Amino acid sequence: MKDTFKHQGLRQQLVKVVAAKGITNEKVLKAIGKIPRHLFMDSGFLDHAYQDKAFPIGADQTISQPYTVAFQTELLQVTSGDKVLEIGTGSGYQTAVLCELGAKVYSIERQQELFKKTSKFLPKLGYRAKKLIFGDGYIGLPEEAPFDSIIVTAGAPFVPKPLLSQLKEDGGRLVIPVGDEVQVMTLFIRKGKKEFEQHEFGEFRFVPLLEDKN
Ligand code: SAH
């Protein structure tokens, strides 16, 4: 679990790359500059950790591209103390970004192997999510609702209704990539019981949001 000057230097380069692609939120950039992404990846990929690319993390899953993580996080507009639900814990990198922003993070992962690995790993780095859950993100986490925001980190073939209904009614935000092969990054802002604003932000590619646990 080493974080060397070399890693730190590469990380500052990555921050510049992500900023050059249009990310302006200082807190998000600071989080990317701080979190040792190489430790979230299998050792074979260490050299790639600070390229702006997605990489395999086992169980057929990937750690999202840093730009994508930053883009989604920026859309969430997290303020310290916000209650945030993440669907797709994966490596825990996005979870760590949310923790850096001061969010109370609840995160659901459907793959038991990843759930176990990440549950052990995150606290070692000092990142304490409120709750990591082995479960199905399509259902969300009704017992902890409402959330200030919800982030889905896998490609959703459709927008799960439970996630919309678990947003707080005055301005809760859902950031979700919607589509099959390619996904459109979509932001829903809840304005009332049945009122939602919808904004779209271009195409991204994610591993699919799958139903049920595994
Ligand atoms: N946020 C992660 C991204 C991992 S990729 C990171 O920063 O590394 C997406 C993750 O979503 C995978 O780990 C996958 O297993 C998980 N996933 C897919 N379908 C899911 C579902 N229905 N509920 C919860 N997690 C799911």
pLDDT of residue 60: 81
CB 129 near ligand 1, within 6 Å: no
* Domains of the chain by residue range: 55-204
- For the CA of 62, the closest atom of ligand 1 is 5
Structure tokens at 23: 């990310």
Number of Cβ within a 10 Å radius of residue 93: 25
* Confidence band for 16, pLDDT divided at 50, 70 and 90: very high
Cα of 33 to ligand 1 centre, how many Å? 23
**Phi, psi (rounded to 5 degrees) for 7:** -60, -45
Mean pLDDT of all residues in 143-158:
98
Flag whether pLDDT at 153 surpasses 90.
Answer: yes
Catalytic residue, from 64, 91, 107, 149: name it: 64
Q: How far apart are CA 37 and CA 203, in angstroms?
A: 24
Identify the band that residue 45 occupies on the pLDDT scale cut at 50, 70 and 90: confident
| Cβ neighbours for 2, distance < 8 A, ≥ 6 positions apart | none
pLDDT digits (tens, 9 = 90+) for 69-82: 999 999 999 999 99
Cα–Cα distance, 127 to 124 (Å, whole number): 7
- Residue 115 pLDDT grade (very low, low, confident, very high; cuts 50, 70, 90): very high
Rounding to the nearest 10 degrees, give the CA dihedral for residues 123, 44, 136, 98: 50
**For residue 56, what pLDDT is reported?**
87
- Decide if 62 contacts 54 (C-beta within 8 A): yes
- 113 CA to centre of own chain: 18
For residue 210, the model assigns a pLDDT of 94
- Topology (CATH) of 55-204: Rossmann fold (3.40.50)
